[in-house]
Amino acid sequence: MRCVVRQSLKAKTHVSVRLSLKAKMALHRPLKSAVVAVASRVVKPVVILEAHPLPNKVATAMSASPVMACVALGANLGDAVATVQHALRDVASLPETQLLKASSLYRSAPYEAQGPDFINAIALVHTQLSPLALLHALQALEQQSGRERPYKNAPRTLDLDIIFYGDLALSTPELTLPHPRWHERAFVLLPLAEVWPEQVSASQLAAVQNQAIQRIFLQDLP
């Protein structure tokens, strides 16, 4: 798989989001059992708050050249909207990493999980971190947010998954690429279709049409 990106790697890119009154009210209502169709929108980068620094122990092994990676973000504990917004900034500020595109935020019912509804997003980045270094950096961000794993699929303050790392196929005890279940989950497919429509097929979207998900607001456009 290949994606051509025409954006400079010289400067960090950040994103900001605004929540409409209608969207704020929607956050307090449980989701129905239907997927909401969305149109593809590209985010305009704007400067926002400072990102969280990573611990010094995070590995920074480098790849030979920048690779486009896809990261899925999710949270369903605490202020999940603020958590995902901060996580987008933190991912953009990882060493040797630049945020290319970020999706709108989505609200989804737990899928093979428990607890409140999730807030989800997808980020596309250019990075020179190796796959494992990127994984370890994302895990460090999860720990900073207070992530705990008391049991499988427990509610979480922050969940960060690598979906793709270029066209790399990898299977290790620590990391599998592409993510083995990315195509089964509406909370990955819909935001991914927004920022990388060529990567998602109509049949894949049709297969998750019964999973409850809603785009809760759009990021500011020019």
Q: Is residue 1 part of a domain?
A: no
Q: Is residue 4 part of a domain?
A: no
Q: Is residue 208 part of a domain?
A: yes
Lowest mean pLDDT among 96-100, 111-115, 117-121, 179-183: 111-115
pLDDT tens, residue by residue, 174-196: 999 999 999 999 999 999 999 99
Determine the average pLDDT of the residues in 12-35: 48
| Three-state DSSP string of the chain | CCCCCCCCCCCCCCCCECCCHHHHHHCCCCCCCCECCCCCCCCCCCCCCCCCCCCCCCCCCEEEEEEEEEEEEEECCCCHHHHHHHHHHHHHCCCCEEEEEECCEEEECCCCCCCCCEEEEEEEEEEEECHHHHHHHHHHHHHHCCCCCCCCCCCCCCEEEEEEECCCCEECCCCEECCCCHHHCHHHHHHHHHHCHHHCCHHHHHHCCCCCEEEEECECCC
The residue annotated as part of the active site, out of 89, 90, 107, 156, is: 156
Is 89 assigned a catalytic role?
no
- Please give the residue range of the domain that contains residue 203: 21-217
Q: Is residue 222 part of a domain?
A: no
Is 107 assigned a catalytic role?
no
Give how many domains the chain has, as a whole number. Answer: 1
pLDDT class for 115, splitting at 50, 70, 90?
confident
Q: Is residue 129 part of a domain?
A: yes
pLDDT tens, residue by residue, 46-105: 333 344 454 444 444 666 689 999 999 999 999 999 999 999 999 999 999 999 999 999
Q: Is residue 124 part of a domain?
A: yes
Is 161 assigned a catalytic role?
yes
Percent of the chain with pLDDT over 70: 65
Is 167 assigned a catalytic role?
no
Task: Record the pTM.
Answer: 0.72
Q: What is the CATH number of the domain that holds 158?
A: 3.30.70.560
Q: Is residue 7 part of a domain?
A: no
Q: Is residue 113 part of a domain?
A: yes
